[in-house]
A and B are shown apart, each in its own frame.
Chain A
Amino acid sequence: MLILKLLVVDDEPGMRRGAFRALRKYKFELRDFNDTVEFEISQATTGNEALDLLSKTQFDIILLDYKLDDISGLEILDRLKKMKYDAHTVMMTAFASLEVAISATKSGAFDFLAKPFTPEELRKVVKKASTNIVLHRKAKKLEEDKKKVRFQFLSVLSHELKAPLNAIDGYLRVIDDRVAGNDIKSYDNMIKRSMERINGMRKLIFDLLDLTRIESGQKIRKIKQINLIEAVERSIETNKLKADERNISINLDAQEKILMNGELSELEIMFNNLISNAVKYNKENGYVNIKIEQEEDSIYITVEDGGIGMKPEEQKRLFGEFVRFKNEKTANIEGSGLGLSILKKLISLYKGTIKVKSEFGTGTTFFVTLKSLPAASPPAESA
């Protein structure tokens, strides 16, 4: 429930009473925000009294008579403007004329109400002003939240870039100081680790580019009919080398052709993330089973691995940006921590869903649904 403070400024007692009665028990629902708005009403009989009240209390809405005995309504508007007073003012006057309306709006009034008005007309104007206030506040809040998230993202990103730099720097110092003598072989492991960390950074930068491209939605998507099996086969090929190194088999269970509307490169990135995770977090001689089924315009993808699995508390945090789990089993696995964010954003472009089932030590299964897009779709909304 949201209570807005409303001030009625009028020298006619009948007007103030009428406004009070019309609004005292008035409330309305903001359906989009799941919120109800109610009013707390104060009254002022003169311009000076109004200015006094306004200086003490922050009102949200002011119903202001145009023609007051001491100070004119326009003069009050001017002063509020100079004070940068943040309220929506509705100008009320019996002398309804276009000029009055124009000068009031110029001075910063939100709306205009011609006397005499019915309680219904008053409520309508107040509702309009209230809705506008709420929308403004929500928009401001959203903007602040966005800035906060952005800042967090950047500070984590800089940490993720600094960590490998520091490690490589440390290794180079050891080699530079010939800590283990002049035989280059003594430093083999450090050189290997440095190259791995450089690869990690490269992957992070590429993932970051993917993510920015998907988020900005600026890339023009070429939606056409494609065979999803082509995307998954390419991705299996990409991951085969890493899988072979640890004798992990990648098996595909699907028809030869699964036709859908979409963009092949996006779906390939999606499979790359799913399959590379399944290989990375696997065991020696493990397996990755991929199953794809189609039912009308829905596609169901299951990627199951017999890998190291996740703990329940890890599963809850899984889809955040830069989330990587540190435990004895993941200590030597490289990753940018952006893969699943990318995956989630891509899947949302296909109006799909992603779910995960996992058991620590036994394995993980991802369940993805996708919808075939309408052909010749306009550029996609960003996720």
Chain B
Amino acid sequence: MSEQEKRYFGKTALVVDDDFDYQELISFYLKSYGFEVVVGGSQAEGEKLIQETDFDLAVFDLMMENSDSGFVLSYKLKKTNPKIPVIIVTNVTNETGYHFDVSTDEMRSWIKADVILDKDIRNEQLYNEINKLLG
């Protein structure tokens, strides 16, 4: 995996997740790609960070204080900065049986994220998605 190392050196990613372990995991992946990582632990913190920080990529959890926290954050971010790519990483399908993706216009009309990934994510998969969004 050496070729992926530090490809995104000099870029910043925002990670918002209320699960400490997922903050760690996603940050760890992103750092290995060269990102500097800013972390928030709730929708409220995320909203603040969206306004106050500059970043090139956002990764949001879906269910935090509210069951649609990730959607709300995506919407708010895209409203002011439509060019910043957003990835939602969620366990929602596992937990509730609901499935979300952004493959249809209908879904894209109300979900403002660029990609939705399951939380049992693998390194290559995340790296490929980020390359598609930023590469």
Contact = CB atoms under 8 A, between A and B. Distances in A.
B123 A166 contact: no
A25 B41 CA distance: 64
B28 to A, nearest CB: 6
A158 to B, nearest CB: 10
Interface residues of B, number: 22
A174 B120 contact: no
B1 A190 contact: no
Contact of A171 (B18, B21, B95, B124): B21
Nearest to B20: A331
Nearest to A326: B18
B1 A178 contact: yes
B69 interface: no
Q: How many residues of A sit at the interface, in one of the four size bands?
A: 20 to 34
B120 A177 contact: no
Nearest to B23: A331
Contacts of A331: 20, 41
Contact of B19 (A167, A174, A180, A328): A167
Given A179-B29, A180-B32, A328-B41, A163 B19 contact: yes
A282 B122 CA distance: 37
Contact of A179 (B1, B19, B94, B120): B1
Contacts of A332: 20
Contact of B28 (A159, A163, A179, A328): A179
B21 A180 contact: no
Contact of A167 (B21, B28, B42, B95): B21
Which among A169, A170, A180, A332 has the highest number of chain B CB atoms within 10 Å?
A: A170
A174 B29 contact: yes
Contacts of A197: 21
Given A177-B1, A179-B123, A170 B25 contact: yes
Interface string A343-381: 000000000000000000000000000000000000000
A189 interface: yes
Contacts of A213: none
A147 interface: no
Contact of A177 (B18, B19, B94, B123): B123
A173 interface: yes
A334 B32 CA distance: 28
A17 interface: no
A189 B18 CA distance: 19
B22 A159 contact: no
B54 interface: no
25 contacts: A162-B94, A166-B119, A166-B120, A167-B19, A167-B22, A169-B120, A170-B119, A170-B120, A173-B122, A173-B123, A174-B29, A174-B123, A178-B1, A179-B28, A179-B29, A179-B32, A180-B32, A189-B24, A190-B28, A193-B24, A197-B21, A326-B18, A326-B42, A328-B41, A332-B20
The 10 closest A-B pairs by CB, nearest first: A167-B21, A177-B123, A170-B25, A179-B32, A179-B123, A331-B20, A180-B32, A174-B28, A173-B122, A193-B21
Interface of A: 159, 162-163, 166-167, 169-171, 173-174, 177-180, 189-190, 193, 197, 326, 328, 331-332
Given A180-B32, A197-B21, 11 more contacts: A159-B95, A167-B22, A169-B120, A170-B21, A171-B21, A171-B25, A173-B122, A174-B123, A179-B32, A180-B28, A193-B21
